[in-house]
C-alpha cells in the first residue's frame, strides 16, 4: 500500500477502496513513527487538518484532481499560512508566515493534504543536510550517511515513504543530489516555470521549486499543478500551466541523447561510472541515438556559482536583522550590536560564511573582478548549452561524483562545493533537469541526471517514465522502512 | 574688494520627486500620504520572507513621461538594482533603485538666469523606492518605525554640476518642479516631501577648470532654503580654502533655524552600497509604443506656451506669462479661444481683467468657476459682434455667474443688445436733426461741443444701447450736410 503510485492511490480513492482520511492517516502514522530515525521533518503537524481532509474528500467525490487526497510535506522554506516556516534556521525558529506560498496554495487547491514541513540545510545552503539548526537528517538507506541537500528532509521523507511526495527547491542541485542519494526521482523545472512567491530566497536568479517522489510520473503530476504564470513573481515565465502527457510506450526511437564522455571518465567511483554507462546503454537499446557533446565552459561553473549564489544570498538575507521578525538578541548596546548579535546568534556557520563571501564579492573594488566575471561565465555556459541543444533533445550525465557520504566525513567546505560540478551548470543556465534512480553501488542508490531544453520538462520526464516502465530501481525501499 | 569675487561656485542637484501613483513602486499597497502609522504596509513593504517585487507600470510610465519632458533618451531596456545597507526603516536591508541602465538617460532643460537663458544638462533620472520613516522623539526608550512611506515611488533626477550660483540652482529646481507638476506625475507638495533635493556644492578659483572637492547638502525641501543653504555652504568652503585648509568630501545637513550646515558623515565612513542587479526582476523592455503613448500625454510647458501666445496670438508678454504659468487658467483660455470668434487679446484682457476681478471677489479660482469656458466664449462673441459694450459685458458676466444662463439669454431678457442697425440709427438721427434745428445750426457754426449733445440724446433714447462707433459716424455724416 505504501509503495504505490499517485495514480494508483487516486484510483483507490475514486473507487472508495480507501478514504482520504484513511490514506492520510496511514502516511501520517508512518511520518510520526519514522521521524525519530530520519529527522526528515522539522515540523509534523499535531494532527491532520480537518478542513484540508474535507476539501480533499469533496474534490475526490466530484471527480476532480488526481492529486486530491494525496498527502505531502513542503520543504520548510515554502511559506505556510499560520504555520511555522523556519528555513532550518534559529533565525526563523518561531516564524509564522501570514500567507501561503503560491506553490502551497496551488497544491492545497488541488486537494493535497499537508502533513508538515521538511528538514533542509539552513536557508537551502548545503549539500548534505548537516547544516540544519534542527539536526542532521539520516539517510534511510544508511542512517550514518547524509541524505544529500539541501532538500535532504524532503528526499529522506519520500525514501522512507513517510509521504508519497514532497516539494523541494533546487539552486545548484538541491533537489537532484538528495534524490540521487536517497534513491528517488526529483525534478527541478526550468527557471521561471514555478512561482517563487512565498519561497524564502537563497539565490533568487537560481532558486526553483520542484518535486521529489518515487517515480517520474508522480513528480510530473505534482509539478504540472505547481506551474503557471504568477503575477506575484516578476521572474515567473509567461507560460500557461504545463500539462504532463504520460508516454504510452518505452520506445525511444528518434530521440537524440547527448553525453559528455569526459564527465563520465572523470568519475572516481567505479560503481557510479558503470551504472551511468548502463543507463545510457539502456536508452540506446530502446532506439535513442547517443551523441557526444561538449560544454567547454562547464568546468568554470562551480567557481562562478560560488560567487553568484553567495552574492545574492548576502543581500537576500539582509532582512533578517532582528528588528521586525526572527531572532532578536536579548540585549544590545546599540543598533550595530543589535544587528551583529542577532545575526551571529541566528545564523549558522555555513550561512554566515556565504554571507561573508557574497558581501565581499559585491564590494567596491571586487565587484568587477568577481561578480561581473562570474556573470560572464554564466552567459558562456548558457551559450554552450544552446549549442548543445541544437544537436540533441536531452543530455544524460551523472548527478554527483559520489555516493551518499558519512555524516561528519567532509569537514572541508570546498570539496563539498566541488561535488556540485554536474548539477550546477544546468542551474546556471536555468534548464529543466531531473535525477532518476538507476541502481545501487555498495548498497547505496545512484542517480542519473537528465537535462532538457528550456521549458521542455515533457521530454526529460517522458524519458524517465519510459525507463521506469521497464525498471524498478525507483520502487526499491530501504528495508528498515518496508 | 571682496575675496568672494575670486571664487566660483559649482553646483549639481539631485532632486527626489515622489510620483503621485495610487500604489507603491513594487507592491499593490496604497501610497497616500498622512495615513495612520503602519496602516499602509504590505507583506513586501515589511520585508517578509518570500515576498517579491512587481513593478508598478504607472510609475514606469510617469518616469518615461518625465524623461521625454526634459528631452532625455529613454533606453530600450532598464534594470533595477539593489542598494544594500542596514537601517531599521529599510525592511529588506536593501533599497530597490537603479544603477546602470536607468529609465531616463541624458537630457537637458533650459532655465532663465540673470544672464539670460542657460541650458542645464541632466545626467540621468532613475526610479527607486523610498525608505520608511524613523521617529526618534515619540518615545523615551525606543525609536518608532513607520513603514507607510516604505516602497513609495520616487524618481531621482541628477543634474550635471553646471549651476554657478544659488539663484541658478533655484531656477533649475523650479524648472523641474514646473515640469513634474504640469506633467501630473507629482503633487508638488514641498511640506510633505513630495519634492526635495540634495545639493552638491564645491568652489574653485575663477578660471580654474578642475572641480573642487564637493560637499553634499542633504534633504532640502524649499526653494528659499536651498538658496540660503548653498550660499552658506559656499562661504564656509571659501573661508576654509582662504585660510589654507582643504575641503573634506562629506555629507552635510542644513539647519534652517541656525542657517548653517553641519557634518553628517564623511566619505571615509560612507557605506559601500554593493549595488548589483536585482535578481528578483528581469530587465524591463521599454517599447516604442510605451514611449509614444507617453509622448502623446506631454502637455505644452509654460515657456513654449508664452512664446506661442505672444508670437502667434499677439498677447502682451505679461498677459501671456500669467495665463501660461497657471495650468487651469491656460486650459480655460485656450478652450474659450477655440469656441469664440473674439480675438485672443480681447479674450486675454477680459479674462485677466473683468473675469479675474469677479473670481477674486467671489474668492474662487478658475478651476472652480461657475462659468465654464464655453459660456465665457459666448459672452466674448456678443462683445465682439458689438451687440453689447464692454461695460455691459461686465454686468452680463455677473448675471451669468449668479444665474448660470448664457450671455445671449441674459442680453435678450435685459434688453441690453446694442443697436448696430445702421438704418435704425439713421432714422433716429434724422428725427433728432429735424426736431432740434437750433442745436444743428449751432454745431454747423462751429460749436463742436454740440456734438456730444446729439450723442447724449440718442443714447438717452436708446437707453445706451446704440453702438457708439456707428452712431458717431452717422452723426458726423448727417450733420455735415
Q: Are residues B288 and B336 in the same domain?
A: no
Q: Do residues B403 and B433 both lie within one domain?
A: no
Give the nearest partner residue to A324 out of B46, B53, B282, using CB atoms.
B46
Cβ distance of A98 and B43 shorter than 8 Å: yes
Residue A232 sits at the chain B interface (C-beta within 8 Å) = yes
Q: Alpha helix (H) ranges present in B352-421? A: 356-361, 373-385, 390-403, 407-414
Three-state SS for B193? coil
Contact A312 B279 (CB under 8 A): yes
CB A114 within 8 A of CB A74: yes
Among residues B293, B313, B328, which one ends one of the domains? B293
Q: Nearest CA of chain B to the CA of A322: how many Å?
A: 9
The pLDDT of residue B466 is: 81
Q: Which residue among B55, B86, B88 places its CB closest to the CB of A318?
A: B86
State yes or no: is A364 an active-site residue: no
What is the nearest CA distance from A48 to chain B, expressed in angstroms? Answer: 25
Are the C-beta atoms of residues B200 and B216 closer than 8 Å to each other? yes
Domain with B434 in it: what CATH number? 1.10.10.410
Residues above pLDDT 90, as percent of chain A:
96
The answer on B400 and B433 residing in a single domain is: no
B82 close contact with A: CB closer than 8 A = yes
Cα dihedral A160/A163/A169/A174 (nearest 10): 10
Residues B39 and B82 in one domain: yes
Nearest 5°: phi and psi at B245? -85, 180
Local structure of residue A200 (DSSP, 8 states): -
The residues, any chain, with a CB within 8 Å of residue B281's CB and separated by 6 or more, are A234, A235, B53, B55, B79, B80, B96
Tell whether A234 lies on the interface with B, counting CB pairs under 8 A.
Answer: yes
Q: Kindly name the residue from A127, A174, A215, A342 that is annotated as catalytic.
A: A174
pLDDT at B4: 66
Contacts of B91 in chain A (CB under 8 A): 319, 323-324
Report yes or no: A307 at the B interface, CB cutoff 8 Å: no
Q: At what angle do helices B288-295 and B57-69 cross, to 10 degrees?
A: 60
CB-based contact, A151 to chain B, within 8 Å: no
Instruction: Verify whether the Cβ–Cβ distance B91 to A201 is below 8 Å.
Output: no
> In this complex, do B48 and A339 lie within 8 Å of one another by their Cβ atoms?
no
**Domain C-terminal end among B225, B258, B293:** B293
A113 and A21 Cβ atoms separated by less than 8 Å: no
Please list the pLDDT of chain B residue by residue as tens digits (481 residues).
356 679 999 999 999 999 999 999 999 999 988 899 999 999 999 999 999 999 999 999 999 999 999 999 999 999 999 999 999 999 999 999 999 999 999 999 999 888 899 999 999 999 999 999 999 888 988 889 999 999 999 999 999 999 999 999 999 999 999 999 989 999 989 989 999 999 999 999 998 999 999 999 998 989 989 999 999 999 999 999 999 999 999 999 888 888 888 888 776 667 899 999 999 999 999 999 999 999 999 998 888 899 999 999 999 999 999 999 887 899 999 999 999 999 999 999 999 999 999 999 999 888 889 999 999 999 999 888 877 888 889 999 999 999 999 998 998 888 787 776 677 788 888 888 988 888 888 888 888 888 888 888 888 888 777 888 888 888 888 887 7
Residue with cell 566575471: A373
> Quick one: B404 and B450 in the same domain?
no
The number of C-alpha atoms within 13 Å of A216 and in the hemisphere containing its C-beta is 32
- Find the farthest-apart pair of alpha carbons in chain A and give their distance in angstroms, rounded: 70
pLDDT tens digits for chain A (482 residues)?
789 999 999 999 999 999 999 999 999 999 999 999 999 999 999 999 999 999 999 999 998 899 999 999 999 999 999 999 999 999 999 999 999 999 999 999 999 999 999 999 999 999 999 999 999 999 999 999 999 999 999 999 999 999 999 999 999 999 999 999 999 999 999 999 999 999 999 999 999 999 999 999 999 999 999 999 999 999 999 998 999 999 999 999 999 999 999 999 999 999 999 999 999 999 999 999 999 999 999 999 999 999 999 999 999 999 999 999 999 999 999 999 999 999 999 999 999 999 999 999 999 999 999 999 999 999 999 999 999 999 999 999 999 999 999 999 987 778 889 999 999 999 999 999 999 999 999 999 999 999 999 999 999 999 999 999 999 999 999 999 98
Q: Is residue B252 domain-shared with residue B279, that is, in the same domain? A: yes
Question: Residue B1: what pLDDT?
Answer: 38
- Residue A107 and residue A89 in contact, taking contact as beta carbons nearer than 8 Å: no
Q: Which three cell numbers stand for residue A308?
A: 553568484
When scoring B23, B52, B132, B282 by the number of chain A Cβ atoms within 10 A, the one with the most, hence best to mutate, is B52
Write out chain B residues lying below 8 Å of A204, CB-based. Answer: 279-280
Whether A195 is catalytic: no
Among residues B343, B341, B342, B306, the alpha carbon closest in space to that of B323 is found at B306
Exactly one of A10, A65, A75, A127 is catalytic; name it: A75
Dmax (CA) for chain B in angstroms is: 105
pLDDT of residue B328: 84
Q: Are residues B98 and B218 in the same domain?
A: yes
Residue in B49, B275, B280 nearest the CB of A204: B280
- The minimal CB distance from A362 to the residues B48, B276, B282 is found for B276
- With contacts defined as CB-CB under 8 Å, which chain B residues touch A99? 43, 48, 50
Domains defined for chain A, CATH in brackets: 6-253+456-481 (3.90.1300.10)
Residue A238 sits at the chain B interface (C-beta within 8 Å): no
- Domain hosting B272: range is 3-293
- CA-CA distances (angstroms) from residue A470 to A214, A251, A277, A285, B232? 15, 11, 17, 12, 85
- What was the pLDDT predicted at B259? 81
Say if the Cβ atoms of A234 and B52 lie within 8 Å.
yes
Q: What's the pLDDT at A478?
A: 97
Cβ distance of A315 and B276 shorter than 8 Å: yes
Q: Rounded to 5 degrees, what are φ and ψ at A346?
A: -80, -35
Cell numbers for B126: 532613475
Same domain, B325 and B241: no
pLDDT of res. B447? 87
| Closest residue of chain A to B276, computed from CA coordinates | A362
B402 and B326 in a common domain? yes
Read off the C-alpha cell for A87: 528555513
- Give the DSSP H/E element, type plus range, for residue A177: helix A176-182
Mutate to test the interface with A, among B43, B48, B50 (most CBs of A within 10 A): B50
Any chain B CB within 8 A of the CB of A95? yes
Cβ atoms of residues B229 and B254 within 8 Å: yes
Gap between the Cα atoms of B438 and B426, Å rounded: 20
H/E run at residue B197: strand B195-205
Strands B250-255 and B215-220: parallel
Q: Tell me which of B414, B442, B465 is where a domain ends.
A: B414
User: Are the beta carbons of B84 and A318 separated by less than 8 Å?
Assistant: yes
CB contact under 8 A, B49 and A98: no
Q: Is A332 on the interface with B (CB under 8 A)?
A: no
- Annotation marks residue A204 as catalytic: no
- Regarding whether B350 and B227 lie in a shared domain, the answer is no
Split into its structural domains, chain B has a count of 3
Both B76 and B192 in a single domain? Answer: yes
Same domain, B471 and B340: no
Nearest to A232 among B54, B86, B275 (CB): B54
Amino acid at each position: 500500500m505504501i509503495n504505490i503510485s499517485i495514480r494508483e492511490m487516486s484510483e483507490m480513492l475514486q473507487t472508495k477502496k480507501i478514504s482520504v482520511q484513511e490514506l492520510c492517516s496511514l502516511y501520517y502514522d508512518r511520518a510520526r513513527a519514522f521521524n525519530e530515525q530520519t529527522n526528515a521533518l522539522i515540523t509534523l503537524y499535531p494532527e491532520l487538518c480537518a478542513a484540508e481532509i474535507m476539501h480533499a474528500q469533496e474534490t475526490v467525490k466530484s471527480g476532480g484532481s488526481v492529486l486530491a487526497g494525496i498527502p505531502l510535506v513542503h520543504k520548510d522554506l515554502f511559506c505556510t499560512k499560520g504555520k511555522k516556516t523556519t528555513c532550518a534556521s534559529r533565525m526563523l525558529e518561531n516564524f509564522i508566515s501570514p500567507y501561503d506560498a503560491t506553490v502551497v496554495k496551488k497544491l492545497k487547491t488541488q486537494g493535497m493534504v499537508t502533513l508538515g514541513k521538511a528538514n533542509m540545510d539552513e536557508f537551502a545552503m548545503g549539500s548534505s543536510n548537516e547544516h540544519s539548526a534542527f539536526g542532521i537528517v539520516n539517510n534511510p538507506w544508511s542512517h550514518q550517511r547524509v541524505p544529500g541537500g539541501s532538500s535532504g528532509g524532503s528526499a529522506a521523507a519520500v525514501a522512507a515513504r513517510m509521504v508519497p511526495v514532497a516539494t523541494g527547491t533546487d539552486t545548484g542541485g538541491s533537489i537532484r543530489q538528495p534524490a540521487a542519494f536517497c534513491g528517488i526521482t526529483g525534478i527541478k523545472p526550468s527557471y521561471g516555470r514555478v512561482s517563487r512567491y512565498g519561497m524564502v530566497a537563497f539565490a533568487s536568479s537560481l532558486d526553483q521549486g520542484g518535486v521529489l517522489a518515487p517515480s517520474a510520473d508522480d513528480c510530473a503530476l505534482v509539478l504540472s499543478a505547481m506551474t503557471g504564470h504568477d503575477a506575484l513573481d516578476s521572474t515567473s515565465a509567461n507560460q500557461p500551466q504545463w500539462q504532463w502527457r504520460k508516454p504510452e510506450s518505452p520506445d525511444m526511437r528518434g530521440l537524440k541523447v547527448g553525453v559528455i564522455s569526459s564527465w563520465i571518465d572523470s568519475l572516481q567511483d567505479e560503481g557510479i561510472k558503470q551504472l551511468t554507462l548502463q543507463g545510457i546503454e539502456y536508452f540506446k537499446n530502446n532506439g535513442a541515438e547517443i551523441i557526444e557533446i561538449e560544454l567547454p565552459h562547464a568546468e568554470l561553473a562551480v567557481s562562478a556559482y560560488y560567487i553568484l549564489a553567495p552574492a545574492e544570498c548576502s543581500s537576500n538575507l539582509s532582512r533578517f536583522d532582528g528588528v521586525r521578525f526572527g531572532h532578536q538578541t536579548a540585549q544590545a548596546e546599540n543598533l550595530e550590536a543589535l544587528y551583529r548579535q542577532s545575526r551571529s546568534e541566528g545564523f549558522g556557520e555555513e550561512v554566515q560564511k556565504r554571507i561573508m563571501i557574497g558581501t565581499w564579492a559585491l564590494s567596491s573594488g571586487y565587484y568587477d573582478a568577481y561578480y561581473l566575471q562570474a556573470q560572464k561565465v554564466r552567459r558562456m555556459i548558457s551559450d554552450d548549452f544552446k549549442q548543445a541543444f541544437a544537436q540533441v533533445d536531452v543530455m544524460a550525465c551523472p548527478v554527483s561524483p559520489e555516493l551518499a557520504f558519512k555524516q561528519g566525513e567532509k569537514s572541508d567546505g570546498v570539496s563539498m562545493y566541488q561535488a556540485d560540478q554536474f548539477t550546477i551548470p544546468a542551474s546556471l543556465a536555468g534548464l529543466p533537469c531531473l535525477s532518476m534512480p538507476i541502481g545501487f553501488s555498495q548498497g547505496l542508490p545512484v542517480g542519473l541526471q537528465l537535462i532538457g531544453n528550456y521549458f521542455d520538462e515533457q521530454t526529460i520526464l517522458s524519458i524517465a517514465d519510459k525507463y521506469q516502465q521497464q525498471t524498478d530501481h525507483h520502487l526499491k525501499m530501504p528495508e528498515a522502512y518496508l | 574688494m571682496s575675496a568672494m569675487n575670486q571664487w566660483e561656485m559649482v553646483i549639481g542637484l539631485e532632486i527626489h520627486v515622489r510620483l503621485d501613483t495610487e500604489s507603491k513602486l513594487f507592491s499593490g499597497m496604497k501610497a497616500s500620504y498622512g495615513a495612520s502609522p503602519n496602516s499602509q504596509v504590505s507583506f513586501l513593504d515589511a520585508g517578509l520572507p518570500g515576498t517579491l517585487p512587481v513593478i508598478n507600470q504607472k510609475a514606469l510610465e510617469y518616469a518615461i513621461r518625465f524623461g521625454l519632458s526634459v528631452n532625455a533618451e529613454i533606453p530600450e531596456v532598464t534594470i533595477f538594482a539593489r542598494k544594500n545597507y542596514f537601517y531599521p526603516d529599510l525592511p529588506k536591508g536593501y533599497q530597490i533603485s537603479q544603477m546602470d541602465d536607468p529609465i531616463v538617460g541624458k537630457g537637458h532643460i533650459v532655465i532663465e538666469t540673470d544672464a539670460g537663458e542657460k541650458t542645464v544638462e541632466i545626467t540621468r533620472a532613475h526610479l527607486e523606492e523610498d525608505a520608511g520613516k524613523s521617529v526618534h522623539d515619540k518615545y523615551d526608550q525606543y525609536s518608532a518605525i513607520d513603514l507607510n512611506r516604505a516602497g513609495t515611488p520616487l524618481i531621482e533626477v541628477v543634474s550635471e554640476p553646471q549651476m554657478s550660483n544659488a539663484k541658478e540652482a533655484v531656477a533649475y529646481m523650479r524648472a523641474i518642479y514646473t515640469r513634474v507638476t504640469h506633467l501630473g506625475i507629482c503633487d508638488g507638495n514641498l511640506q510633505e516631501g513630495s519634492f526635495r533635493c540634495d545639493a552638491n556644492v564645491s568652489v574653485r578659483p575663477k578660471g580654474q577648470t578642475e572641480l573642487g572637492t564637493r560637499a553634499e547638502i542633504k534633504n532640502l525641501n524649499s526653494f528659499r532654503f536651498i538658496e540660503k543653504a548653498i550660499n552658506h555652504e559656499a562661504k564656509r568652503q571659501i573661508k576654509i580654502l582662504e585660510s589654507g585648509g582643504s575641503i573634506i568630501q562629506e555629507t552635510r545637513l542644513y539647519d534652517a533655524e541656525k542657517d548653517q550646515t553641519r557634518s553628517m558623515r564623511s566619505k571615509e565612513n560612507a557605506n559601500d552600497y554593493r549595488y548589483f542587479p536585482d535578481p528578483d526582476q528581469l530587465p524591463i523592455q521599454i517599447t516604442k509604443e510605451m514611449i509614444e503613448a507617453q509622448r502623446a500625454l506631454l502637455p505644452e510647458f509654460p515657456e513654449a506656451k508664452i512664446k506661442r501666445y505672444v508670437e502667434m496670438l499677439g498677447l502682451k508678454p505679461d498677459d501671456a506669462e500669467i495665463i501660461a504659468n497657471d495650468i487651469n487658467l491656460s486650459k480655460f483660455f485656450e478652450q474659450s479661444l477655440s469656441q469664440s470668434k473674439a480675438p485672443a487679446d480681447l479674450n486675454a484682457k477680459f479674462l485677466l481683467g473683468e473675469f479675474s476681478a469677479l473670481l477674486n471677489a467671489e474668492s474662487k479660482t478658475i478651476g472652480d468657476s461657475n462659468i465654464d469656458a464655453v459660456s465665457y466664449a459666448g459672452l466674448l462673441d456678443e462683445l465682439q459682434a458689438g451687440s453689447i459694450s464692454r461695460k455691459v459685458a461686465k454686468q452680463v458676466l455677473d448675471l451669468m455667474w449668479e444665474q448660470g444662463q448664457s450671455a445671449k439669454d441674459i442680453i435678450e431678457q435685459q434688453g441690453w443688445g446694442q443697436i448696430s442697425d445702421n438704418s435704425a440709427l439713421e432714422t433716429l438721427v434724422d428725427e433728432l436733426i429735424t426736431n432740434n434745428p437750433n442745436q444743428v445750426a449751432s454745431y454747423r457754426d462751429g460749436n463742436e461741443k454740440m456734438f456730444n449733445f446729439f450723442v447724449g440724446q440718442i443714447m438717452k433714447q436708446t437707453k445706451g444701447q446704440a453702438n457708439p462707433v456707428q452712431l458717431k459716424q452717422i452723426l458726423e455724416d448727417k450733420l455735415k450736410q
